[in-house]
Amino acid sequence: MFIKQFYTSCLSEAAYYIESEGEAAIIDPLRDIDSYIVLAEQRKAKIKFIFETHFHADFISGHLDLSNETGAPIIFGPGAKANYNIYQSKDKELFLLGNIAIEVLHTPGHTIESTCYLLYNEKKEPYALFSGDTLLVGDVGRPDLNSGNMDSEELAGMMYDSIHQKLITLPDNVLVYPAHGPGSACGKKLGADTSSTIGEQKKTNYALQAQTKEAFVKIVTSGLVATPKYFSINTMINQQGYESLKEVLSRATKALDVSEFKKTLDAETFMLDTRHATEFTQGFIPGAIFIGLEGRFAEWAGSLLPFDKQIVLITDKGKEEEAVTRLARVGFSKISGFLKGGFPAWKEAKEPIDMIIDIEPDELLMDIPFDPKLTVLDVRREMEFAEGHLVNAVNMPLQDMYDIAQLAGLEESENIYIHCAGGYRSVIAASLLKRQGYHNLRNVLGGWDKIKLQQNVKIVQETEALN
pTM of the model: 0.94
> With bands split at pLDDT 50, 70 and 90, how would you rate the model's confidence at 147?
low
Domains of the chain, earliest start first: 2-231 (3.60.15.10), 243-348 (3.40.250.10), 357-466 (3.40.250.10)
**How much is the pLDDT for 408?**
64
What would the pLDDT profile of 296-311 be if each residue is shown by its tens digit? Answer: 999 999 999 999 999 9
pLDDT more than 70, % of the chain: 98
Residues ≥6 apart with Cβ < 8 Å to 5: 14, 15, 16, 177, 194, 195
Residue 456 half-sphere exposure, CB side, CA atoms within 13 Å? 6
The whole-number pLDDT of residue 405 equals 60
Residue 90: pLDDT over 70: yes
Mean pLDDT of 313-324: 98
- Mean pLDDT computed over 76-105: 97
Q: Which residue has the higher pLDDT, 225 or 294?
A: 294
CB of 308 within 8 A of CB of 334? Answer: yes
Across the beta sheet with 74-76, the strand order is 2-8, 13-20, 23-27, 46-51, 74-76, 87-88
Pick the residue with more confidence: 185 or 139? Answer: 139
Q: What is the pLDDT of residue 226?
A: 81
In one-letter notation, the amino acid at residue 279 is: E
Q: Three-class SS of residue 5?
A: strand
Distance CA 150, CA 454 (A): 49
DSSP per position, 133-194: TTEETTEE--S-SB-TT--HHHHHHHHHHHIIIIITTS-TT-EEEESB-TT-TT-SS--S-S
175-194 pLDDT, tens digit per residue, is 999 999 988 887 777 888 99
Our measurement of the distance from residue 173's CA atom to the centroid of its chain's CA atoms, rounded to an integer in Å, reads 30
Instruction: Please tell me which residue, 462 or 141, carries the higher pLDDT value.
Output: 141
Q: What is the mean pLDDT of residues 57-86?
A: 97
pLDDT above 70 for 148: no
The pLDDT value recorded for residue 404 is: 66
CA dihedral over 136, 63, 318, 276, signed as positive or negative: negative
CA nearest neighbour of 331 among 298, 374, 360, 366? 298
Question: What per-residue confidence (pLDDT) applies to 100?
Answer: 98
Average pLDDT over residues 60-77: 98
* 130/153 Cα distance (integer angstroms): 24
Average pLDDT, the chain: 94
The pLDDT-based confidence of 146 (bands split at 50, 70, 90) is low
pLDDT higher than threshold 90 for residue 231: yes
Within 8 A by CB and 6+ apart from 375, the residues are: 394, 410, 414, 415, 416, 417
Q: What is the mean pLDDT of residues 102-119?
A: 97
Phi and psi angles of residue 328, each rounded to the nearest 5 degrees, phi first: -65, -30
